[in-house]
């Protein structure tokens, strides 16, 4: 592995600043440990993420890139962590996710369609407030502790190369018509429901919706908002009544549909 990594990492340096950089970097990572798919997104403030590279077949690209950029990214733990003060690191998705992420509607209605066994991400600082996440994905088995450790060992090289290659990336976001800074998730929830004629929720109820959509349980939401779990459940019942829905699945579907109306 070491000899192959040396050759592959040398290639990464050779193609810095070119369109070949991202494929070369992913190839170098695969020389450390195998994985089936990779996608690299850049995040900046509340702009829609930019897909810098992927190696999906067309049908999976629709789900993992096009569908993701249409709205589900707002509930992605990698995106949410990138919006917080970034701690560059290699991390497993499951270690970022809220306590009910795998029972939540983002996972059940969107992420399960990716057909992945595990996703891990290199969370990188590209400078200028831009975060880059290079995801490595496996379909049939999770990354072992040994696999993860081997990738962690090459993290300093990956971080330095990515920062050098993608410096100035913020200009690609601000060159478009998107506002800066853009709305936060809570504001998007408010705007989305207003768009479909349902501007009925109180500020506290919008907070409850936000945590529910992210995959937090009533207990975790209560801790975050310093209220009791019983109060969270009462708020949820009121939200469902006001929106005339009966499940969190309907809440997620309405949110995604309403986001589409904002475009």
Distance from C-alpha of 90 to C-alpha of 81, rounded to nearest angstrom: 12
DSSP state letter for 141: S
Phi, psi of 56 (to 5 degrees): -80, 150
Within 10 angstroms of residue 193's Cβ, the number of other Cβ atoms is 22
Strand ranges, E, within the chain: 37-44, 50-54, 89-92, 118-127, 130-138
Q: How far is CA 230 from the centre of its chain?
A: 30
Cα–Cα distance, 94 to 77 (Å, whole number): 9
Residue 65 is predicted with a pLDDT of 93
pLDDT of residue 181: 45
Q: What is the pTM of this model?
A: 0.83
How many Cβ atoms from other residues are within 10 Å of residue 211's Cβ? 19
Task: Give the containing element (helix H, strand E) for 7.
Answer: helix 2-14
Local confidence pLDDT in tens for the 263 residues of the chain: 688 999 999 999 999 999 999 999 999 999 999 999 999 999 998 788 999 999 999 888 988 899 888 888 888 999 989 887 889 999 999 999 988 888 777 787 778 778 889 999 999 999 999 999 999 999 989 999 999 999 999 999 999 999 999 999 999 988 864 444 455 666 766 676 666 446 778 888 888 888 888 889 999 999 999 999 999 999 999 989 988 888 888 888 877 777 777 66
Residue 214 CA to residue 206 CA, distance in Å, equals 12
């Amino acid at each position: 592995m070491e000899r192959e990594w040396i050759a592959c990492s040398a290639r990464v340096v050779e193609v810095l600043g070119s369109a070949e950089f991202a494929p070369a970097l992913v190839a170098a990572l695969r020389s450390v440990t195998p994985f089936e798919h990779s996608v690299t997104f850049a995040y900046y403030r509340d702009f829609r993420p930019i897909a810098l590279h992927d190696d999906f077949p067309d049908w999976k690209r629709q789900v993992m890139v096009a569908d993701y950029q249409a709205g589900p990214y707002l509930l992605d733990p990698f995106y949410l962590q990138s919006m917080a003060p970034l701690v560059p690191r290699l991390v497993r998705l499951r270690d970022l996710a809220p306590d009910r992420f795998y029972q939540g509607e983002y996972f059940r209605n969107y992420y399960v369609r990716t057909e992945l066994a595990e996703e891990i991400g290199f969370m990188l600082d590209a400078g200028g407030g831009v975060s880059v996440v290079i995801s490595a994905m496996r379909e049939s088995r999770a990354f072992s502790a040994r696999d993860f450790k081997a990738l962690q060992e090459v993290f300093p090289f990956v971080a330095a190369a990515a920062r050098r290659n993608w410096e100035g990336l913020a200009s690609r976001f601000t060159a478009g018509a998107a506002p800066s800074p853009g709305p936060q998730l809570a504001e998007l929830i408010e705007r989305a429901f207003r768009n479909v004629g349902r501007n009925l929720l109180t500020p506290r109820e919008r907070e409850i919706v936000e945590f529910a959509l992210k995959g937090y349980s009533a207990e975790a939401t209560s801790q975050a908002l310093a209220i009791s779990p019983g109060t969270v459940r009462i708020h949820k019942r009121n939200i469902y009544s006001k929106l005339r829905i009966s499940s969190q699945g309907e809440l997620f579907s309405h949110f995604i549909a309403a986001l589409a109306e904002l475009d």
